[in-house]
């Protein structure tokens, strides 16, 4: 009899409080804090190893080229336009190193313009078991074309160098790096 009374009270409590518990909104961070306001700089996500992702201070053309280049490297597509003007020796050695990680995705960190006019980006290739970080250097190459007897000079971005560090196990990275919550997440 006592067990029946407890079950009855439990069912009554669930019936009474369940709508109040489950009807509450589950979001913890208001949209106003997650999305930039009009005129405010975009907030880019951060990688736990290379920092802020996105274009950074790099020119738009260099950023687009870097994305195309990294996509070609991750897929192993040596015929991609981004690798067309790259030295074959650099391409082969870089592709061999990256293939060892078996990357599923790449991360492209905020770029910056170097003193010599080249642009550098921090990069990270992430596989299922390992990851590899490095620094990508791009430079502009001037190309002269003859069009209807006139010489036309145009510039395009090319791979200057890609310096890669040793591969690291993802479990090693989790132990060595601490996730730092954004101020908005800390506040709420």
pLDDT tens for each residue of 82-101:
777 777 667 778 888 888 88
Q: Whole-angstrom Cα distance, residue 29 to residue 181?
A: 13
pTM attached to this predicted model: 0.64
- Domain map (residue ranges) of the chain: 48-171
| E strand intervals along 34-184 | 46-47, 51-52, 103-108, 112-113, 119-127, 130-147, 150-164, 168-169
CATH class of 48-171: alpha beta
- 40: three-class secondary structure by DSSP: coil
Average pLDDT over the chain reads 76
Locus of tokens 């209807």: 148
pLDDT tens profile 10-57: 777 777 766 655 555 545 556 655 566 676 665 556 776 777 788 888
d(CA 118, CA 163): 15
Where residue 173 falls among pLDDT bands split at 50, 70, 90?
Answer: low
């Amino acid at each position: 009899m006592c067990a029946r009374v407890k079950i009855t009270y439990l069912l009554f409590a669930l019936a009474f409080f369940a709508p109040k518990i489950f009807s509450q909104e589950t979001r913890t961070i208001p949209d106003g804090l997650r999305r930039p306001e009009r005129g405010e700089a975009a907030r880019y996500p951060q990688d736990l190893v290379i920092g802020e992702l996105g274009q950074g201070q790099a020119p738009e053309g260099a950023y687009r080229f870097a994305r195309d280049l990294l996509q070609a490297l991750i897929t192993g597509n040596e015929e991609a336009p981004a690798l067309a003007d790259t030295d074959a020796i650099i391409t082969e050695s870089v592709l061999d190193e990256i293939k060892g990680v078996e990357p599923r995705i790449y991360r492209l960190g905020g770029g910056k313009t170097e003193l010599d006019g080249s642009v550098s980006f921090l990069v990270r290739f992430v596989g299922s078991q390992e990851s590899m970080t490095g620094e990508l250097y791009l430079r502009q190459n001037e190309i002269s074309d003859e069009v209807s007897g006139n010489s036309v000079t145009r510039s395009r971005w090319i791979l200057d160098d890609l310096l890669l560090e040793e591969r690291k196990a993802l479990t090693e990275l989790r132990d060595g790096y601490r996730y730092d919550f954004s101020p908005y997440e800390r506040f709420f």
